[in-house]
A and B are shown apart, each in its own frame.
Chain A
Amino acid sequence: MTAYIVRRLLYAIPILIGVNALTFVLFFVVNSPDDMARMHLGNKRVTDQAIQSWKEEHGYEKPLLYNAGADGAGKLTETILFQKSIKLFVFDFGQSDSGRDIGFDISQRMWPSLAIAVPTLIVGLLVNITFALTLAFFRGSYLDFWGVVLCVAMMSISGLFYIIGGQYLVGKLLNLVPISGYDTGIAAWKFMVLPVVVGVIGSVGAGTRWYRTLFLEEINRDFVRSARAKGLSEHWVLFRHVLQNALIPILTGVVVVLPALFIGSLLTESFFGIPGLGSYTIDAIQNQDFAIVRAMVFLGAVLYIIGLLLTDISYTIADPRVRLE
């Protein structure tokens, strides 16, 4: 098991190098730092002087790949490739284009993201599995049919509608909780309710339908039939045999997103004014802060790879037949 994990971690290295190379090409080769400077400075009649000083201010004045002007190891380290890309591997994110320390910002902003994303995931999972089990219990009936119709209809509604509708209904018409904002400590719960509820409702259509398919696949298996033949009650069959055996596909979907919860949801956070990593990214996109976007791309890739690894490990816990070698 340990050997397997180590090998998987080693596999991650070439992938991260690939991600890094991709962002490097995207951010520095497709458009040179000169282009970015010109864009930030407003394009029209920008002097070379102004471009140069912008680049120096933001640390883009070094050569791309090879610095002939520096001495010793500096020939390679005093370059944009090293300063802006390779340093990401040790999670040194450097400064954003507006001069803030990205690493510090991330460590501050991940907590609000988690505070929204974790309850959304857990409540969503419980709700979806409950609904799906109910539909599976009443399979073939009108309840099942109309339940699926409702799921398809809810899937077809844009996520933006749930957010805007939820804000309007709960926040403005009913005045139950504040529409947007955030608070420190326990007082934050008021601000968390609406995003979590909206997030759960937004995912319930697709989720319930997907879990129902999983359960129905299991429900037709032979061991379920023999369990029923033994005289077990339908509830017992559903919980003991169907749910447990459907756990593997459920885990695949859930565990892989666990690390990504840090990043939060871009949409939810920006709509509800939550100072998490999602709104951080959105702000960066809108201000065209390339350093932050670059850092978030790398962080996202790392978290995804960790998620894949966790998925594999969780299999061994959920199903003793799976052994990692």
Chain B
Amino acid sequence: MNIGGFQPVILWTDALVFLLVLLVAAGFWYASKHEHLMQPWRRVVDSRTGQAALVVLLFYIVVGLLDTVHFNEQIDTDDQGAPIYSTEIVSLFDVVAGTLESQREKSYSAPFATHLYSKETVELADGTSTREYPLLEYGGQHLAEGDSKAADIAAKALTGAIKGTLIWAILIAVIVLMKGKGAVLVGRLLRAELDKPWHVGAWTALFVFAVFGSFWELSAYYHILGTDKVGEDVFYQSLKSIRTGLVIGTLTTLVMLPAALLLGIMAGYFRGWVDDVIQYLYTTLNSIPSVLLIAAAVLMMQVYIDNNADQFNSVTERADLRLLFLCLILGVTSWTGLCRLLRGEALKLRELEYVQAARAFGVRNFRILMRHVLPNVMHIVLITIVLDFSGLVLAEAVLSYISIGVDPSTNSWGNMINGARLELAREPVVWWSLLAAFGFMFTLVLAANLFSDAVRDAFDPRLRKQR
């Protein structure tokens, strides 16, 4: 039914994610021209855990970005030959993982199962009926009678791992060729003889590629993490949830960053009544427990959405706006910390000689802020963003559990946990959805925590002196 054409769709969060990618790219391009800006990043790469964490994060980011490029597929052409597009919004990731999504079962099935999880009444050919575990429609159905499932799984996993390793080898070869010197460099990389621990990054990448390769290979034949209540593949859900987690973790700070920067620096630099007003503002916001503020705001948004349902074209759009709003409101509760830090730093900076000198020369306040204050607080901003990330990813799950998180139709780890929680009361227990959500979340948050430690060590001037 898809005949090739497509029409790009840019949702609100997509636009912001693209903006973020642009900003990061521009930042790196700018930093690469200035040695003093590159130095802390070199220190991040110097750290072994930092490098390993970065590789894992990059893997998550690639999946998230693939899931961010949205479009409508062309389904037909009308009489004049003009294309007709499907109203369903799909992403590049959906196209790549199409088989995973389409292979729906009827209900729960365990990981690598070939039969459904609960008995059903089946009518036999002779008219009698029995209760048995029905066969799955897709999972493991390529096996012939008498084939060993374990052997098949092992073979498929090995094939996938080898494929992943091949891709990894090609990637390493390309990177090494770009650097020149070829074979010598590869040898030194594998023997860990380079000036930086690049081998840690390379081995982590190999691990990620091999594991994901075998998962991917297997997932075409089995539901490797089982299926959920409506028969959707849990592995697919977990991968789709990556985008939601990343969006919450990054956009929250992005949307509130301008306000925190502006107000924090202004409060510290101008002092006086400006300081009083801004302090009052953040003390007031800060004094409301954040969960309650989020609950209140999300409740109000639900009322608005319910009463103005006609303003949203599709479920995807509504869910997307809700996600964006959640980022906003999480931002409102988390910007106060950064604002206070920036105020303190600006208070300190304004008394330094070079700022005093600039003021004595009659340099405009705006120019002083831009040239002398802003660049000197950027390390605080960066450290805060990276440190906040993991907390926000975890917060999403909690908020979704108490039904003030993302839209129920959005794939997220919080929604997966929420949906699977009640199944723990079943006998025997349906555990795979929970474990998949916690596992994916744990990997991301652990990588983010390790990475943020490396970033903090590299960027914080206080810590640098101690070494």
Instruction: Please report A residues at the B interface, Cβ cutoff 8 Å.
Output: 14-15, 18-19, 22-23, 26-27, 30-31, 35-36, 38-39, 43, 152-153, 155-161, 164, 167-168, 172, 260, 263, 266-267, 270, 281-282, 285-286, 288, 290, 293-294, 296-297, 300-301, 304-305
- Interface of chain B residues 376 through 422 with chain A (CB within 8 A): 390, 394, 397-398, 401-404, 417, 421
Residues of A within 8 A of B96 (CB): none
CB distance from B222 to the nearest CB of A (A): 25
B292 touches A31 (CB 8 A): no
**Given A15-B287, A19-B284, A260-B289: A152 in contact with B299 (beta carbons within 8 A):** no
* A156 lies within 8 A of B449 (CB): yes
Q: Is B41 on the interface with A (CB-CB < 8 A)?
A: no
Stretch with Cβ within 8 A of A (4 or more), from B67-75, B186-194, B314-322, B434-442: B434-442
B307-341, CB under 8 A of A: which get 1 and which 0? Answer: 10000000000000000000000000000000000
**Are the C-beta atoms of B300 and A31 separated by less than 8 Å?**
yes
B394 neighbours in A (Cβ, 8 Å): 158-159
Q: Is B445 an interface residue (CB 8 A)?
A: yes
> What is the CB-to-nearest-CB distance from B407 to chain A, in angstroms, rounded to a whole number?
16
Say yes or no: A293 contacts B299, CB within 8 Å: yes
Instruction: Enumerate chain A residues within 8 angstroms of B429, measured Cβ to Cβ.
Output: 168
Q: Is the CB of A164 within 8 A of B434?
A: yes
Q: Does B302 contact A (CB under 8 A)?
A: yes
Q: Does B369 contact A (CB under 8 A)?
A: no
Q: Are A43 and B307 in contact, CB atoms less than 8 angstroms apart?
A: yes
Q: Is B25 an interface residue (CB 8 A)?
A: no
**Chain B residues packing against A (C-beta within 8 Å):** 280, 283-289, 291-293, 295-297, 299-300, 302-304, 306-307, 390, 394, 397-398, 401-404, 417, 421, 424, 429, 434, 438, 441-442, 445-446, 449-450, 453
Q: Which of B292, B401, B449 contacts A300 (CB 8 A)?
A: B292
Q: Do the beta carbons of A43 and B421 come within 8 Å of each other?
A: no
Please name the 8 residue pairs, one residue from A and one from B, whose CB atoms are nearest each other, closest first: A18-B284, A156-B446, A300-B289, A156-B445, A301-B287, A31-B303, A304-B287, A297-B292
A285 to B402, CA, bound (A): 8
Query: When the two chains form their complex, are residues A300 and B304 in contact, meaning their CB atoms are under 8 A apart?
Result: no
| B residues less than 8 Å from A156 (CB atoms) | 390, 442, 445-446, 449
Say yes or no: A266 contacts B402, CB within 8 Å: yes
Contact A158 B300 (CB under 8 A): no
A-B contact pairs, 9 of them (CB 8 A): A19-B287, A26-B297, A26-B300, A27-B300, A152-B450, A164-B421, A167-B424, A286-B402, A294-B296
Q: A263 near B304 (CB under 8 angstroms)?
A: no
Most interface-central of B291, B403, B441 (chain A CB within 10 A): B291
Beyond the given pairs A22-B285, A158-B438, 6 more chain A to chain B contacts, judged by CB atoms under 8 angstroms and listed by A's residue number, are: A26-B296, A152-B446, A156-B442, A168-B429, A270-B402, A294-B296
Q: Which residues of A contact B284 (CB under 8 A)?
A: 15, 18-19, 22
Task: Tell me whether A30 and B402 are in contact in the complex, defined as CB-CB below 8 angstroms, given that A164-B434, A263-B289, A293-B295 are known contacts.
Answer: no
Q: How far is the CB of A95 from chain B (nearest CB, A)?
A: 18
From residue B277, how far is it (CB to closest CB) to chain A in Å? 11
A15 to B284 alpha-carbon distance, docked (Å): 5
The answer to whether A297 touches B296 (Cβ under 8 A) is yes
In the complex, the answer to whether B404 meets A285 with C-beta atoms within 8 Å is: yes
Q: How far is the CA of A26 from the CA of B284 in the complex (A)?
A: 15
Do the beta carbons of B398 and A267 come within 8 Å of each other? yes
Contacts of B297 in A (CB 8 A): 26
- Do residues B307 and A39 form an inter-chain contact, with CB atoms below 8 A? yes
Contacts of B398 in A (CB 8 A): 158-160, 267
Closest chain A residue, CB of each to CB of B305: A39
Chain A residues closer than 8 Å to B434, beta-carbon distance: 164
Quote the shortest CB–CB distance from A19 to chain B (angstroms).
6
Using A18-B284, A31-B300 as known contacts, say yes or no to A297 and B293 having CB atoms under 8 A apart.
Answer: yes
B441: chain A residues at CB < 8 Å are: 158
Q: Report B-chain residues with C-beta under 8 Å of the C-beta of A31.
A: 300, 303-304, 307
Residues of B within 8 A of A159 (CB): 394, 398
Partner of A157, one of B292, B438, B453: B438
CB-based nearest A residue for B294: A285
B65 to chain A, nearest CB (A): 23
Kindly list chain B residues whose C-beta atoms are within 8 Å of the C-beta of A301.
287-289
Shortest Cβ distance from A281 into chain B, in angstroms?
7
Chain A residue, CB-CB nearest to B444: A156
Contact of B403 among A22, A160, A285, A304 (CB under 8 A): A285
Which residue of B has the minimal Cβ distance to A284? B295
On whether the beta carbons of A160 and B401 are closer than 8 Å, the reply is: yes
Which chain B residue lies CB-closest to A172?
A: B424
Known: A285-B402, A290-B299. A168 touches B424 (CB 8 A): yes
